[in-house]
Every structure is written in C-alpha cells, then in structure tokens.
Structure 1
Amino acid sequence: IAQAAEVQLDGDVLFSAIVGDLISRSVSFMISRYSQQQPGTDKIVQRLQRLLMRIDTVVEEAEGRRITNQGMLRQLKMLRQGMYRGHYVLDALRFQAICDKEGEEVSHSSSALSKLRPPKRLRASCAGGGSSDREAVLLSGANNSIQEELQRLVDTLEETMAGMKEFLFFLESYPRILRQPYGTYLILDNCMFGRQTDLERVLNFLLRPNAMHELAVLPIVGPIRVGKSTLIEYVCRDESVRDHFSTILFFPEGSLKNEGLIDLRGNNFNGLVRHQNCASQKRLLIIIEIAEDINERTWRRMKSSITCMTPRGGSKIIITSRSDRIVNLGTTEALRLDYLPQEAYWHFFKSLVFGSTNSDEQPKLASMAMEIALEQRQCFLSAYIIAGILRDNFDGRIWRTILECVRAYKQTNLLMFDQHPNLRLREDEPVYYWRLGKSHRYFLICNHHQSDSNENIPKINVQNILLGNGGTLPRGEFEALSWRSRIPPYYNYTISCKMQPPQLTVGRKKHVHQEGEHLI
C-alpha cells in the first residue's frame, strides 16, 4: 500500500507540473475579455476551462504511454472525445462573443452554437434598444438554454474525470513511447491524427499470443478515405511488429484475382513483401485490402496456405474493406473506423491552418476558420487543401472570400444533386468545386485517384485552379494533383476535372440559397 501511495504521489507531482505549464498557455484571458454571457454562464465557462486543463494533462500523458489494456483504451477514447467537445464549445463561445461585439453575423445554417445561442431574430429585435418585455423574457429564456447546455457539458466531463482515478493510477505502470522531438508534432500533416486508440488496439491484437495456435484474423471496416491504409502502414512500421513477425506481406486491392499469389507455400510473393526479419520465429503477418467482399474459395486457400507455412501458429491476418461483409471472417471483434466527429475535426483543421501559431491571437480569422471547417463535413482531403490555402494567404479578406465560396459551393451542389458535395466526394461522385478566378467560378471534378509516391504526378495543382493562378488551363478533361500526403503510405491524390460550369435549370434555380446566388 505504501509503495502504491508513493507511485500515486509521484504521478500527482508529474500531473501538477504539466498542469502548471498548461495554465501558462491557457485561454483564460481571451474568455474573460470576450465573454458577454450572463454571470452564471461566465462561471460555468470558467469551470469548463479549468476542467479542460486537467483533461488535457491526462490525455497528453496517456498518449505518451504504450497502453495495452482494452478498458483503459476505451476510457482514453472517451476522455479525448470530451476534450475535443469542450474546446470546441469554448472556441465557439469566444467567436460568437466577438461577432456579437463587432455587430457581425455568423452563418446560422452551420454555426457551432446553433443549439446554444438565441435565434438571430431575437438578438436583432433586442439590440434595437426598444425591446418589449416579452422580447426580454424570450432573450432571457434563450440565455438560460445556453447556460443549461453548458452545465450539462461540465457535469458530464466532471463525472468522466471522477471515474478516472484507477486509470491515472495504472497509467504510471505502462512504458513510455519513444518518439521524435515534440516540435515535429506541431504540424498535423506530418503525423497521424485521431487514431491513437485504434493503433494501440491493432498492436495489441498483433503482439498477443494466438489462442490454441489458431490463425487470428482482425477485420477493419470503414468508408473510403477514412484512414484504413494509413493506420495499417503505421502498424507495419512499428518496431515491435517488425521484430515479432518474420515476414509482412501486403495484398493490395485487386491483387487476389491472381490465383498464383494465393498459394504462399512456393514463396511466390515477390513485390508483396513489406518487411522480412530472419531473426524472428516463422510468423507471417498478412495484410489484405479489398473493396467489398472476398471470394470464399480464395479465402479458404489463403488460410490453408498460411497454416501450412507456419504449422506452429502465431501468424495473423488483417483484412480491410468498406463493407461489413468481412466482419464474420474475424476471430476477434472487428475494428470500425469512421470520419472524425465534428469537434475533433475542428481541432484537426485549426491545427493545420494555424500550426504552432496561437489561434487566440487571431480571433476573427479563427472564427472564419471554424465556419469553413463546419462546412467541410469532416472531409480529410478538403481539410488539407483548404487549410494549405489559408495558411499561405494569412489575409482576412481572402479568408472571407473563401468562406463565401465554400458556402455557395455547398448550395450549388445541393441544388444540382440534392446532396452535400463532401458526401459526394466520399462516394467518388462528380461535384462542382469552387474557384476564386474571375471567370469560371466552378469546375467539375469527375474522378478521384490515389497512387504511390514514386509514380508520375500531374503538373497542374488544385490550389492553382482554386486561386486562379498558373495561366490558362487545358480544354476538356485533364488531371490535377489534389494533395501529396506527408505521412505513410505517402499517397498522391489526383483528380480528373474540366472547366465546366453548372447547368442550372430555370425550375430549380429558385431554390438556391440567397448567400450563394451571386456565385452561381
């Protein structure tokens, strides 16, 4: 008991030191300066801010540890989601207060506080100075609603932290993860974001012994471009995985149609080897990527071939797909990946745009960045493209124009296809994308491709198309580079597109949203 107390005391000292550093970097000054809520709400905001400092500390410490307990990983995921939610609300409150103070209006269709703040008509009617008693009562009720929502959020986070005592105690027993200096993690396009818990779960699956020497299979299911390949690549590059398996084989999408590759006993898998470790026991790690489902005969032949090659067991398979049909192939519960929640996506987008710069020093720009992020519907590719433009053009006028273009782009595609454009991008459907050029406000994205980093890339960059730079664009359909990933597997993302404006019909034009009408 005495030893446990000493461990806990050391942990408390460590956490207190980190908290002191976080306090020095907190946003308390901005909150107290710009918050114009009722006194009761202001106190709740301060409680939320102090609570988030504690949560930030725990999450940062936990992310630096190699946690193997599945229950603790679930707790960490829940805590991280609460952290993103809390910071999201604090940012939204601060930006709303700034806009109210400046007399500006934030888009109601996508505002982060659409459920927490008074409607536009209430604020407008009460701002005129001659509001009636009835309007004052309505405004008071709206403020009470904000206060109640904030109180519920704080209560939930406090309950979560209250249940983390055992988590904090056992956290000290897990080894630290050796990683690069902290400065390399300030720009998120150089590291994987939002998949730490999923990464630890896959590593735990790979490194634990197989039950009864059976072939273990982990299915990973998720929609297109959600990060399945990125997660797998990080797993395969982990030193503990490379030391554990003698050979790591990778079957990309479509490769299993070659019957000769399925029989591994003849060692006929040139070009499929990701890693070989002769010092390790003969264990195979097989990575299989498929779009939908795998042929039952092919699957049986693959399993039989692996079992014959490693009769003592220990080999494992990870199979990824966009379809739930592979779930029944697993010997363990499937890992399901989805797009980031809106709160986490805002943290991701803000970090891409501002990098190591403190966004609190540019509150108006940060407010516009949040509005742009809210319009993206958690699309990774759009986040990288637009964040790159904003980061390279740190000018409020340009940001405002881009925000207007993004809003109009959404309305135009809703009009043309009755579907949000970023939902269409996820499904590889054609969309009309926005431009800042004086002519051809839109261009049509026809198809999407991804390729390895060593393949030739188009000379035309999507950012040049969006900004109207780069001279005259080709006629007809042409290829353009959307983005080059800086993290494994270092894919190049390209599009097939053409300079084609939307063809709007007279009968449907009346449904265009007013704020996007001038750009169509």
Structure 2
Amino acid sequence: MADAILYLFLDQVKTIIDKAKKEVKLLVGVEDEVEKLERNLDLVLSVLADAEEKKTTDQLVKKWLDRLKEAAYDMEDALDEWKTRAELEVKGTENAANCQGKVLLLRNFISCFSFHRLSSRHEVAVNIKEINRRIDEIVKEKDKYQLERRKIELPKRPETSSFVDVSKLCGRDGVKREILSYLLGGNSEMDAAKLIQTISIVGMGGLGKTALAQLVCNDPNVKQHFESVTWVCVSDSFDEKRVAKAIIQGLEKLSGSAAYGLESDPLEILLGRISKSIEGKKYLLVLDDVWADKCERWDSLKVTFNLGAAGSKILVTTRDLNVASMMGSFDSQIIHLEKLGDEECWSILRDKAFKGKDKMKSREDLEEIGRKIAKRCKGLPLAAKVLGSLLHSRSTKGEWLNILASEIWKLNLAQKEIFAPLLLSYYDLPHPVRRCFLYCVLFPKDFVYAYHHITSHWLAQGFLGSDPDADLELVGLEYFNILVAHSFFQDFATRDGYIFFFKMHDVVHDFGKYLAENEFAMEIVQTDHLSINSARHRHLLVMVGERMSFPTSISGAEKLRTLVTYTGKDALTCDALRSLFNHCRRLRLLDFNWPDGPDHLCNEVPEDIGKLMHLRYINLANSKKLERLPEELCNILNLECLDLKGCRSLKHLPESIGKLPNLRFLVTNGCFALTHYPKDVGKLTSLRTLIGVIARADRNDGTEFSIADLGNLKHLRRVWMKVVGNSIDMEEAGKAGLQNVEELWIYLPGEVEEDDIIEALHLPPSIIFGFSDDYWLNPRGGFGHPDWFKFNSPVY
C-alpha cells in the first residue's frame, strides 16, 4: 500500500537532503528547490495517515496517493543523482590535483571537467525543479479531499524471536485419518485396471490444505508404504513441462547442474524419463495448490503415471472443486476441508497470543475478548494464527479491545474473510518493515527465500536505512524477526537456532500483491525484445524462456529499479548487457540467477556498467565465462554488494576497487582463476562480509592483499579466507585485528599449518571458526539442508 512506500521514500528523501547539505555544496539552482521540497514533505507527512484510511473507500484519494508515490520515486532518484554527481565531482577534482608535475595537462583537465560539471548541475537542477512542480501541485490538491493532519505514531514493535512454527494442526485429526486411509488402503478395481488413484483436498485459501498434506506426507506409515514421495508446488497455472521437470527432480533427487540439464529437453523426453523412474515402483505424487486450467494439459501427464506399481497414489490440494474432477478424483476421493469452529480458532489464537505468558495476571480478562476476536477469524486457521501473533505483543485489555473494534473489519476488501486479519497485522508493522514484506512478492508463489539473499535485497533498496557506519545487517535481522513474529513467513529451515530458508503462505503472497498493486511485475521472455507494459512497474522479475537469450532490446524500463532474472544457458550476451545498462539507468539492484552448471555470461562486462550510478547490488554469481570486470565498475560509488561466487574464469578484480566507499559485501569464493586480491581491497572500510578473500601469509608488499591488511577493515563481521604462501609471517599476521569478526573460515592450499595460523591470528574466544577443504570455503562437514527444503523446493 502507498503508506509503506511513501513514508519510507519521504523519510529517505529527507535523509538524502540532510546528508548532501552536510557533505557537498548545493548545486546551482537546487538550493531553493530543496528548501521548497522540505516544506512540501512536512505537509504531505501530516495528512498521509488520514489519506491512507480514506483510499479504501475513495478512489480519488487513491489516485492522489498513486500520483504522490510516483513523484516520490522520481524525486528520490533525482536527489540520489544529485548527491552522487557531487561526490564524483569531488573525487574527480581530487584525482586531477594529485597529478604531480603535469601542470598543463591539469589545466586542460580542470577546464574540461568544470564545463562538464556546470552542464551536469544544470541538468540535475532542471530535473529537480520539474519534479518539485509536480509535487507542489499534488500537495495543493490535498485540500480537495478534506484530509486531516495527524501526528504520526509508529506502532509498538513486538517482542521478537526466531521461533519456528510447530507442525500440529488443530481440529484436523479426523481429516488426517481419512486421507491416510485413502493413501494406505487399496482399490482393487483401479489396481486391476492399472489406473492411479487421485485424492484431492479442496478448500478456500487459508484453511490449511498445504499444511495438512505436509503433515500426511511426513507420517512414518506413509514414508514406509511408498518407495518415493515427490512434492511439486504448482500454483496459478498448470505448466505441464515445469511440473514434469519438478517431478523428475523429486524422483531422481536432482539438484544444481543435473537439474538444469532438464531445461532443454522437450516434453516427450521428460515424460519418458518419468515413466522410466516410476515403472514398477509404488509412489506418492503430491501436486500442491493446483488452479483451474485446461484438462488436456493434465491428461498428457496423467497417462505416464499409470506405469507405476499398484497402490501408487496422487494427492492434490486445490481451491477449486472443478480442478479435483479434472485431476480424476471421484466424489468419494474428494476431501472437502471445512472451516474450523470458533473454539478451534480460539485454541490456535490463544496458543500464539499467550506463548511464554503462562503467568500473566490479566489473562482471564483477555480471554473473553480473545474469544470474540476468534469469531472474526471465520473458521480460517491462517487468520487465527496471524491474529494470535498480533495479540502476542499486546498485554492490556484496552489494546485487545482496539483490535476487536477496529474499522478494518468493516472495509470492503477483496477476500475479506482472510485479508481483514492480515491487514490488521500489516498495519501493526513499522513502516520500513511493511516495505520489506511487500518486496517479497516480487518473487513467485512457493519460492524458497534465503535469509541472507532477501535481507541484502532490502539493504540495496534502502529499506534498512542509509547510515554507512550503522550495523544495517542487524536492522535487517530485526525486521525479519518482526515479520516472523507476525506470522508472515513460515516453513523455516534452521541451523543452530538461526533461520536460513523460509517460505510465504500463498494467501499471504496474494495479500501482498493486493497491497503492492502494479509496483511489482513478472515477465516471461519469448522474443529478443523486452517491453515493460506499465511505467508504474519499478521492480521486475524476468523469466527467460528455454533456448532463448536475454533480450538485446528493451523498452519502457527507464524507471526500473530492480531487475531479477532467471535465465538459461548462454542466455546473456555482451550486446544484451550493453542495451540493459544504457536503457535502465535507474537500476539499484541487478540480480542474475542461474543454476550451478552451464556457462552463461560473456567473457567480460561492458564498460557501460559505470553509467549505473544508482546501483547498490549486482549479482553475477556462476558466470563461468566471465574473465574480467571493467575499471568503470569502480565509478559506481553507491555499490554495496558485489557477488562473484563461482565465476571460475575470473582472473582479476579491478585494480581501483578501493574507490568503492560503500561496499559492504564482496563475494568471490569459487573464482578458481583468481590468484590474488588487489592491495586496494584494504581501503574498503565499509566491508561487513568478505567471502573468498585471498590473503598472503608470507609477505606484505605493495601489490597483493595480505593478512595484515584485514586490520584496516574494522567493520568486518564475516570472513571466509583463502590463505596463500608457503610460510607465515607471524608479526604481519598479528596485525589482522579480527577482534570484531564473528565468523571465520579458512582454506589453506599451501604449506601453512592450521595450528600456526590459529596462533598467529589471536582469535577472540567468541568467534565461530573453522577450516575448509576447498575454495568454495564450505565448512568441513557442510551446512546441509533439512528434508523439507529438498522436498519442497520449487523449480525456476
């Protein structure tokens, strides 16, 4: 919704203004405009809360907020450009002044540079003035809608923790027994006809169909009864080829490059492979969240499944009764999942709300109100869980009564029964956390989110703040825990008490898309041209079709901030990259995703990447043809994350990499052709995470990064390090200064002994420390993933 976007953007705009006024001289023609903008921001913020409430019933107010959001986006981009150009000018002048003994050349350079600087100032000033005019008009219109000024009160943040949901399902014991009887029982008529029995769980979103299917599949009797259990997340549209690939992955336990090898196979080959895998085996296939689609798409797959042994079963979850019939379930094999009773909803809500509060004095007073709130759940366990999480942070009778009496229950919402409880919980989030939640809907349903990946995206978007000296990674953890505490995430994969992977309920995903409206989009590319349909799309996920390359021409993407791609083999050429860099100048995040296996990227990144002055995050991981990065990359002063892991042909990092003052993450593990790190890495004083750093142990000269250079990086928290050299200079190694490092993994390919490196580094007692056996720097013994992660991972 607009409030999360606008509150955050307006706060960011104020931050940019304050920072620029302190650190750089205001550009000519900009100072008056900035002062005018500050006045308008204060006026907008004062009425924003009232406008947000009225937009649900007043379309004119909604359009007003939409226009304001677009102007806020444009203004933030303009001010960011203003700040960055000013910083580049300062650095350009400093570099020119450092040219000792070249007076004539210096004069010519300064003359040319000054002309360019004046031109840039004028360009930026005109842009800011035009956007300010738009904002001025929007602000003047606020009086038409009788918007009232209100004091902005951020909601109280809940107590947070990394607790994980238990697997019990309230009120579903009888249904579970019924499904188990179908799965474990026989059907002589169908077995004789060599037909596979299909059982369907049917019910509206939020009833717990997926959770029930998971509970059944994890039953020990089911695991013992079937030779294989395969889970496929279908969602939204039934793409028979995607489903076939996912089935093969599950049956053959494929991952990485082996799974990616399926991309180029036609459907007939995939079906033949399924037939071979299941022939003569008793299997259980689960198709989760199937939506209405064309019957013939299912029929082409279904014939293949009849080759399994007698007793094989298919379990389907769906919101649509017609889907159950299409999938071949007889009436007797369709389980209609009913709503829970009020008492069962109260049981779920109570467990969440009073978790860890058994001795709370006011519990009896709250229970009466809680039962009334449970009736508002309308029998939906997801609603009960969300409301219980919301009430957990409230301990007074007045706070619980406010939830019961909220006006949100009266709103005319899409899917009102489930969206109203979710909206209550959403409004309880601090505004930056709302933005983090909405961003997650950029990814498709059933997506397996990685904690470090999504929080680094939040950081790049500015959702965690912009203070280079702050521990923004801890802010990300705090925001994540708030969303966990509000039950917006589920299906957690943990290690040592920390969440590493998680998912989002499909109804929660629908809710997020409802709030975000047109801001996020997904495009499936089947041609060599990419056209963005709406100028309001700021965040885009692109799926490149099989045997297709990333488009070499792009239109409508001038305002795009985020581009996440899932591409195929040899899918990204230099021409495509050059077109992308020249057409998407406002990009803040560029994330290329591809499986670990085939070659993908051209052997070098075009110099045009230096034009992306707004860029904060770039992921080129597993680009196995990539050999070099241009020095122009180091002109991107705002860059915070550079992920190059698995770029096994990369021979050098840019020599001027030390000119990236805001870089917080540098990742190069798996870059096997990389022999050393430039000395200038020691100038990256904002670094928090350094994965794959190559450090010399035997000397500290002026060309290569050494262990002693770690001592300059005072903010480092995570270090995965390859130590090179056949000996260790104990004195130099003692300068590493790792007292603030929380996690350290070391790979020793040379003759340095493990005991010697431990002695030399003077490690703090609280550090998580260990050794690795290769340059991927995975800890000995590996991290591993829980069974559900392998079981439920979707295919993209």
TMscore range, shorter length: 0.3 to 0.5
**TM norm structure 2:** 0.30
**TM norm structure 1:** 0.44
Higher relative contact order (CA 8 A, sep 6+): 1
Larger of the two Rg values belongs to structure? 2
Q: Report the structure, 1 or 2, having the larger helix content.
A: 1
